[in-house]
Amino acid sequence: MSEIKIQIKNLYKIFGKNPESALEQVKDGVNKDELLEKHNHVLGLKDINLDIKEKSIQVVMGLSGSGKSTLIRHINRLIEPTDGSVVVDGEDVLKMNDENLRNFRRTKTAMVFQRFALLPHKTVLENTMFGLHIQNIDEKDANTRARRWIDRVGLSGYEEKYPQHLSGGMQQRVGLARALTNDGEILLMDEAFSALDPLIRKDMQDILLELQDELHKTVVFITHDLDEALKIGDRIAILKDGIMDQEGIPADILLSPKTQYVKDFVEDVNRARVIKAKHIMSKLNGQDRDNAMFVDQDDFIDRFIDKVISDKPNCLIIKNKNNDEIGYLSTKRLSEILKR
Amino acid sequence: MEDFLSEFPELSRETLRFIKKGFDASYRAFSREYGDAIEAVFDPVLYFLVWFEKLLQNSPWPIVLICFLAVIYFGSRKISVTIGSLFAFLLIGIFGMWEDTMSTVSIIGVCTMLSIGIGIPVGVLMAKSERAQRICTPILDVMQTMPSFVYLIPVVMLLGIGKIPGLLAVVIYAIPPIIRLTNLGIREVDREVLEAADAFGANPRQKLFQVQLPLALPTIFAGINQTIMMALAMVVIASMIGVKGLGQPVLKAITNQYFAMGLFNGLAIVALAIIFDRVSQSFGHRIQQHRSGSRE
Ligand SMILES: Nc1ncnc2c1ncn2[C@@H]1O[C@H](COP(=O)(O)OP(=O)(O)O)[C@@H](O)[C@H]1O
Ligand SMILES: [Mg+2]
């Protein structure tokens, strides 16, 4: 298995005048509404535990105000926690001094923002070089690196434009190029695509997935949109009122939601479009394989369901990229999954 | 009882006189003690001011005029403003106000530079520290509402009559807008953009010079514009304590009831105000414009 890149342990965040004393209350079980009413403090996060694997995309999902932005800002310590720890590559982020923290932010992480957060007085190229300028990397080197990423996100020819001159989708490409130019191993994306139109948003999701195939960054991706979460996430964590309700791979969240909140979220999802064969297969151990149909592990159900209906196989055999047989799926189980 | 209600129970005349006298005496003692030292601090400014004034007055007028028009054109990039200014300066010269106008331009120039040099750092400090803001805001309020003549008194007591006290009075009167608007401009910078700067590891200096000041620049420019306008307004008052320029003839006109003289010099001040305003405003617009389009 891959290594843990980011480890968040027993993380609490309380906003207000005296978070320490409010922390006691929260640990004694006072909930968010009560805390606000009786103690005038806002519960941001409560006892969050999350291990984020190297080179994977971890989605954090929840409704507005559930604490997603607060959580992601703890990873690069834009927000100081009230209690708990954040460890990246074995190093405690909270123990870093100002200098070390700046270096950590300059070299290990990069962030993409919901409203793009570009500098209006700088061109696309200058914006993209921002992180390198901050690191005092020499102009020529910075220029080459920035141009490469501008090209990679499909913005060649726009280098000398100012952000206001670009559409939202293009501005966020600049945001993405700026983050990638920084070349950190960790990419933090706070509702990076939420402000975009659906079609543009889909484009951006595809760009991200395509890049990730090649770059293998550790991505923390915040969204309030379940479809986006399912499309992008290797794993999904669900936040509600500062508490993590459930965490797991997309299929688990869909097929066995643990709380009503998660159930409400996943109720209307078209499962065939978000569940892959590998998510629902069982181990191969000598099952009856007459009239079997072969399916790729990364195919979504709706890629092969038509063929299942027309060919009426008895069972499905799942194969990986090297064409090895790795799993088994009975048609009975398949129809159960689609029926619910 | 009736007395008490109809007359405000004020301090006795004796006491009041004692307080005022004591205050004045101690201020006078302070100025006797430190006046010279404070004056010495301003010596470089005085040298510069005198040099600048002499330069404008003693250089051949066509050269000065051409320089002015060049600055006006490159500041505003507008032919109309440049031609308007040309006529204004020609009229000023023909009506015999060239020298006084040069004096006024030089003192306004120096006051503006001083105000920018002091005002922007103070504004930055206010934006960075809540404490500085709490201390400075009431002082600025007082500076802006205090009748401008009142400034003259302590300045004259301290430094006597002359260019430097005049300059000081003008700067004190004109500096609040630039401080306020620098503070405002920096505080208005988008929180997410600041967060981005932090997220990319910018240190406080990089944040100030690469993000906060550039983004606040249009607002700061509005402040500079207001500061110039207020300095011009104060020039007439400052002439009461010996600042040369267009203010002095206005003052003379008031005391002697020379209406035409007052009017001409007044109009010259108006012309200067309009020129300064147009140039600094279009300059301010230009720095904003290049943000909303592509580079020319
Ligand atoms: N600086 C702050 N001061 C007080 N409350 C805050 C602050 N930042 C966030 N909150 C509160 O914390 C909760 C979580 O906010 P946030 O993390 O922004 O949610 P999300 O990103 O999921 O919409 C909200 O109730 C919000 O009002
Ligand atoms: Mg948010």
Per-residue pLDDT of B167-212, as tens digits, reads: 988 999 999 999 999 999 999 999 999 999 999 999 999 999 999 9
> How far apart are the C-alpha atoms of A176 and A152, rounded to whole Å?
10
Closest residue of B to A105, CA-based? B201
Chain B interface, best mutation among A96, A118, A119, by max B CB count within 10 A? A119
Q: Probe ligand 1: pick from A32, A63, A69, max atoms within 8 Å of CB?
A: A69
pLDDT more than 90, % of chain A: 74
Three-class SS state of A223:
strand
φ/ψ (deg, to 5) at A318: -95, 135
A contact test, residue of B192, B195, B200 with most A CBs within 10 A? B200
- Domains (ranges, CATH) in chain B? 40-289 (1.10.3720.10)
Reported confidence tier of residue A173, pLDDT bands at 50, 70, 90 = very high
- Within 13 A of B229's CA, how many CA atoms are on the CB side? 15
**d(Cα A176, Cα A190) in Å, to the nearest integer?**
12
CATH of domain A277-339: 3.10.580.10
**For residue A285, what pLDDT is reported?**
84
Find the closest chain A residue to B209 by CA distance: A134
Residue A307 has pLDDT above 50, yes or no: yes
Residue A175 confidence class, pLDDT cut points 50, 70, 90: very high
Residue B295 pLDDT level (bands cut at 50, 70, 90): very low
Q: What's residue B183's pLDDT?
A: 97
Q: Select from A104, A110, A162 the Cβ nearest to the Cβ of B293.
A: A162
Which among B237, B190, B196 is positioned nearest to B216, based on CA atoms?
Answer: B190
Q: Can you give B114-164 as a three-state secondary structure string?
A: HHHHHHHHHHHHHHHCHHHHHHHHHHHHHHHHCCHHHHHHHHHHHHCCCHH
Residue B235: count other Cβ atoms within 10 Å of its Cβ. 27
Rg (CA), chain B: 23
Three-state SS at A161: coil
Apex B54 CA angle, B50 and B56, nearest 5: 120
- Reported as a single tens digit per residue, the pLDDT across B221-273 is 999 999 999 999 888 888 888 888 998 898 889 889 899 999 999 999 999 99
Q: Where are the domains of chain A?
A: 56-69+97-271, 277-339
- DSSP bridge pairs for A186: A109, A218
Confidence of residue A310 (pLDDT cuts 50, 70, 90): very high
Asked if A318 and A295 touch (Cβ cutoff 8 Å), the reply is yes
Whats the size of chain A, residue-wise? Answer: 340
Residue whose Cα lies nearest atom 3 of ligand 1: it is: A15
By C-alpha distance, which of B288, B285, B292 is closest to B77?
B285
CB contact under 8 A, A111 and B217: no
3-state secondary structure of A299: coil
First to last CA, chain A: 32
CA-to-CA dists, residue B118 to A45, A219, A228, B123, B221, angstroms: 44, 46, 52, 9, 15
Q: Whose CA is nearest to atom 14 of ligand 1?
A: A67
**Tokens linked to A11:** 């993380």
Ligand closest to A63 (CA) is 1
Chain-chain contact of A110 with B200 (C-beta, under 8 angstroms): yes
Identify the residue whose tokens are 């965490």: A247
Q: Which residues of A touch B292 (CB under 8 A)?
A: 162, 164-165
**β A109-112/A186-190 pair status:** parallel
Supply the mean pLDDT for chain A. 93
As for the ipTM of the complex, it is: 0.88
Report pLDDT for B1. 64
Write phi, then psi, for A116 (nearest 5 degrees): 70, -45
Cβ of B214 and A104 within 8 Å?
A: no
Closest residue to B294, CB basis, from A103, A161, A178: A161
pLDDT above 60 for B6: yes
CA distance A181 to B98: 58
The DSSP letter of residue A242 is T
Q: What is the pLDDT of residues A182-207, one digit of tens each?
A: 999 999 999 999 999 999 999 999 99
- Within 100-119 of A, beta carbons closer than 8 Å to B belong to 101-107, 109-111, 113-115, 117-119
Task: Average the pLDDT over A129-142 and give the result.
Answer: 96
Residues of B within 8 A of A102 (CB-CB) are 201-203
Q: Please give the angle made by the CA atoms of A38, A43 and A45, to the nearest 5 degrees.
A: 160
Whole-number average pLDDT of chain B? 90
Q: Which of A114, A131, A161 sits opposite B200 (nearest CB)?
A: A131
Mean pLDDT of the region A213-236 = 94
Q: Report CB contact under 8 Å: B199, A109.
A: yes
Dihedral sign for Cα atoms in the order A138, B209, A100, A186: negative
pLDDT reported for residue B290: 61
Q: Which percentage of chain B shows pLDDT scores above 70?
A: 97
Q: Is A284 on the interface with B (CB under 8 A)?
A: no
Residue whose token pair is 């106008």: B101
CA distance B170 to B231: 6
Ligand closest to A32 (CA) is 1
Q: What six digits make up the tokens of B191?
A: 């929180």
Superfamily of domain A56-69+97-271: P-loop containing nucleotide triphosphate hydrolases (3.40.50.300)
List, in order, residues 6 or more apart from A22 with CB less than 8 Å away. Answer: A14, A16, A35, A39, A41, A82
Q: Measured between alpha carbons, how far is B49 from B42 in angstroms, rounded to an integer?
A: 11
Question: How high is the pLDDT of residue B289?
Answer: 67
- Is the model more confident about B196 or about A28? B196
CA dist., res. B184 & res. B182, Å (int): 5
Q: A245-259, A278-292, B264-278: which range is least confident on average?
A: A278-292
B293: confidence class by pLDDT, cuts 50, 70, 90 = very low
> Band of the pLDDT at B3, cuts 50, 70, 90?
confident
Pocket of ligand 1 (CB under 6 A): A 15, 42, 44, 62, 64-70
**Cα–Cα distance measured from residue B18 to residue B11, given in angstroms and rounded to the nearest whole number:** 11
- Using DSSP's 3-state secondary structure scheme, residue A87 falls into strand
Single pTM value for the model: 0.86
- Calpha distance A300→A274 (Å, rounded): 6
Amino acid at position A136, single letter: N
pLDDT reading at A70 higher than 60? yes
| Helix, strand, coil percentages in chain B from 3-state DSSP, rounded to 5 | 85, 0, 15
Nearest CA to ligand 1 atom 25: A65
For residue B30, is pLDDT > 90?
A: no
Q: How far apart are the first and last CA of chain B?
A: 79
User: Does the pLDDT value for residue B296 go beyond 80?
Assistant: no
Joined together, the tokens standing for residue B170 give 């003008």
Query: Do residues A179 and A111 lie in contact, with contact meaning Cβ atoms separated by under 8 Å?
Result: yes
Helices (H), A108-218: 124-128, 130-134, 139-152, 168-181, 198-215
Distance CA B256, CA B262 (A): 10
Greater confidence (A314 vs A74) lies with A74
